[in-house]
Amino acid sequence: MTMTKSLAAEPAALGRVMSPSGTNYSKALAVRERRFATALLAPAFLALMATTTFPLLYLIWTSVHRMDLAMPFADGFIGFANYRELLQDSRFWASLAVSLIYTGTTVVLQVVIGLALALLVMGMKRGQGLFRIIAILPVVLSPAVVGMVWRTFMLAPEFGIVDYFAIMAGLGSQNWLGDPTLALVSVVVIHTWQWTPFAFMVLLASLAALPDDLYEAARIDRASAWQRFKRITLPLLRPAIVMVIIMRTMVALTAFAAIFTVTGGGPGTATEILNLYAYRKSFTELSIGYGSALAVALLIVTVLISAVLFAVRRAR
């Protein structure tokens, strides 16, 4: 009897939901839910604006002002004068060239070595877990600590481990951080050593997700290992490789701590990337306005390179 009443009342309940008053109740409930969601997101949104958007806008505002802490009486709005000076600054172009060389070399080395290690580990029957733990250790170290270790224990003339092996190989003792070319090679090696495990882990995970049936079909067709790598592995890994290149490029362009602790940008300006030049101009030479213009230029270069890489990723 009770069930019969319930079934009889169900159409009436549905009618109330579909009635104009039920529709108004649903709209009011949706509005309240949106307000609640807005209240929850507001603190995070304000924190994000305060830590990212506001500093960026202040950086751009500073870049169009003369702001020299050594001569504060001359401060004021100067428009694009800092940018015009930047285009005629040979040190800016030299630091930009060092940045591009440093970024291109380290990213290519990280992808090639990381992919080679991933292929090697995929073929291992035992010890994959231990290899992954050992490989990831450099990534968790602070770049400043890595720089100090390499400067003190690895590259020190006569006492460093690298110099020891150079002497054993008959190359003699080298001034790794005092010679301009060797110093640039050294910071490239340090950055590659620290961040290759990131590329390795991403590519290893992508390799593990590739379908085995394609490789079985290729083996049945008697495709060689190189043909399977070229026609199956590389095309399927292309999205992961491009994503690694994008992420590593953006980080390498803004590298700072390791280079600062190892060479400080020297000898001379041999390892002075654009990020380091902006820091020196702002906090060593106290020209905040011109340093801000350099930072904005680095931001534009990073955005342009990232846009090109994302376009490559989307292209078939």
Q: What is the pLDDT of residue 94?
A: 94
Q: What is the pLDDT of residue 22?
A: 66
Q: Which residue matches tokens 């170290």?
A: 141
Q: What is the pLDDT of residue 73?
A: 78
Q: What is the pLDDT of residue 2?
A: 45
Separation between Cα atoms, residue 292 and residue 289, nearest integer Å: 5
Separation between Cα atoms, residue 32 and residue 39, nearest integer Å: 11
* pLDDT beneath 70: ranges in the chain: 1-22, 316
- If one counts every other C-beta atom within 10 angstroms of the C-beta of residue 301, the result is 16
List alpha helices for the chain, DSSP H: 2-18, 20-48, 54-63, 81-87, 90-122, 128-140, 143-149, 161-168, 180-208, 212-220, 225-228, 234-253, 257-262, 274-279, 288-314
- Contact assessment for residue 132 and residue 201, using Cβ atoms and an 8 Å cutoff: yes
- Contact assessment for residue 313 and residue 243, using Cβ atoms and an 8 Å cutoff: yes
- Contact assessment for residue 232 and residue 218, using Cβ atoms and an 8 Å cutoff: yes
Separation between Cα atoms, residue 97 and residue 103, nearest integer Å: 10
Q: What is the pLDDT of residue 301?
A: 92
Q: Which pair of structure tokens corresponds to residue 268?
A: 């001379």
Phi, psi of 77 (to 5 degrees): -75, 130
